[in-house]
């Protein structure tokens, strides 16, 4: 019997659901996007898989934001996507499609995707940060995905800092994520800081996105620039700790916020260079993701191929 040609990979992250039909070379044949902030993530996922379904599928891989119980196939905890907590993804999807199903943390899946077909192919070890609404992490070591939680966004970088929905205080995510940036802008504008962003989104500051902040920064807005730099500096604190812990060959940065590379990420790299052990920092390349928003789905598909021996 010939090997199955395809796997379906799903990335169920903070705000978007991305499902892709992936071939054995890691190429996306077809993809579906939907929102994952609705309460019916499971239904959206089923619809997406149905629309991609065809003969020759080896299995389905799911990358889901949160702490995963791989054996039970459930999400034990997901501070940014509480609607998936306790959902029996593996059993539900397996029953529906009669295919092998596996589950992994979304950032771990993205790291595997980058290792397979992205910015990580040439590295034996790297740390991936997903920089979006929240901050996730994944670690490749010895050429393989490290089967650990890798919740790098929930390292405390300010021991007595702001309370995080995860229960910790001072999480990296609370200082360097998209949510941290937009929160800081709202707070500053509400407390009277002058900014061109007051005129953004028809005056509704609650609708300002990280992209808006970046565009205003390019236009010379001081608050926008400072917001990106402050978040970038904190990201650098987290990158330095990751380098001191994992001494990786590379740090790969993924997620929407990398669009603000020349302000946010450059600040982070500069900060990390001042903080990490110099010998380790000097041996670490810091690179953008190559697969961008597809990394999670491609990595999840790879998991499905691996688990089914295809």
Binding site for a second copy (CB under 8 A): 67, 69, 76-77, 125, 137, 141-142, 146-152, 154-159, 166-170, 175, 233-234, 237, 240-241, 244-248, 274-280
Shortest spacing between CB 274 and a second copy, in angstroms: 7
Q: Which of these, 120, 128, 100, 102, lies nearest to 26 by C-alpha position?
A: 120
Nearer to a second copy, 86 or 199 (CB): 86
User: DSSP for 85-146?
Assistant: BT-BHHHHHHHHH-S-EEEEEHHHHHHHHHHHHSTTTT-SSEEEEEESSSEEEEEEETTEE-
Closest CB 289 distance from a second copy, rounded Å: 20
Identity of the residue, 57 or 155, whose beta carbon is nearer to a second copy in the bound complex: 155
Give the residue from 20, 64, 57 showing the smallest Cα distance to 41.
64
* Gap between the Cα atoms of 294 and 254, Å rounded: 10
Nearest-approach distance from CB 249 to a second copy, in angstroms: 11
Q: Which residue, 44 or 168, is less far from a second copy as judged by CB?
A: 168
43, 89 Cβ separation under 8 angstroms: no
Nearer to a second copy, 125 or 182 (CB): 125
**Nearest to a second copy of 1, 159 (CB atom):** 159
Minimum CB separation of residue 103 from a second copy in Å reads 15
Q: How far apart are CA 110 and CA 137, in angstroms?
A: 9
- Angle at which helix 295-307 crosses helix 106-117, to 10 degrees, equals 80
Give per-residue burial for 26-38: e unless 16+ CB within 10 Å, then b. Answer: bebeebbebebee
Q: Are strands 74-77 and 67-69 parallel, antiparallel or unpaired?
A: antiparallel
In the complex, minimum distance from the CB of residue 215 to a second copy, in angstroms, rounded to a whole number: 27
Q: How would you class 182 by CB atoms within 10 Å of its CB: exposed for 0-12, middle for 13-18, buried for 19 or more?
A: buried
Closer to a second copy by CB, 44 or 125: give it.
125
CB of 10 to a second copy, least distance (A): 22
CB of 310 to a second copy, least distance (A): 24
Determine the Cα–Cα distance for residues 91 and 26; give it in Å rounded to an integer: 25
Residue closer to a second copy (CB basis): 92 or 161: 161
């Amino acid at each position: 019997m010939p090997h199955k040609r395809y796997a379906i990979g799903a990335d169920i992250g903070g705000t978007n659901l991305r499902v892709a039909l992936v071939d054995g070379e890691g190429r996306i044949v077809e993809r579906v996007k939907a929102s994952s902030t609705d309460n019916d993530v499971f239904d959206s996922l089923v619809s997406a898989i149905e629309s991609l379904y065809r003969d020759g599928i080896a299995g389905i891989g799911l990358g889901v934001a949160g702490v995963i119980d791989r054996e039970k196939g459930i999400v034990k905890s997901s501070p940014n996507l509480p609607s998936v907590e306790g959902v029996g993804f593996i059993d539900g999807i397996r029953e529906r499609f009669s295919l092998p199903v596996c589950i992994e943390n979304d950032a771990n899946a993205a790291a595997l995707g980058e290792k397979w077909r992205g910015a990580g192919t040439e590295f034996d070890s790297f740390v991936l940060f997903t920089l979006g609404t929240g901050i996730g992490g994944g670690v490749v070591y010895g050429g393989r995905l490290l089967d650990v939680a890798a919740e790098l966004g929930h390292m405390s970088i300010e021991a007595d800092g702001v309370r995080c929905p995860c229960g910790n205080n001072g999480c990296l995510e609370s200082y360097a994520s998209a949510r941290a940036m937009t929160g800081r802008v709202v707070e500053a504008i509400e407390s009277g800081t002058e900014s061109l962003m007051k005129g953004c989104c028809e005056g509704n500051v609650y609708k300002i996105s990280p992209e808006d902040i970046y565009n205003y920064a390019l236009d010379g807005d001081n608050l926008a620039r400072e917001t990106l730099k402050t978040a970038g500096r904190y990201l650098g604190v987290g990158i330095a700790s990751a380098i001191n812990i994992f001494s990786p060959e590379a740090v790969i940065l993924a997620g929407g916020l990398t669009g603000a590379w020349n302000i946010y990420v450059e600040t982070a790299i500069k900060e990390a260079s001042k903080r990490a052990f110099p010998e380790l920092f000097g041996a670490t390349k810091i690179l953008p993701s190559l697969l961008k928003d597809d990394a999670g789905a491609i990595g999840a598909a790879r998991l499905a191929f691996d688990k089914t021996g295809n």
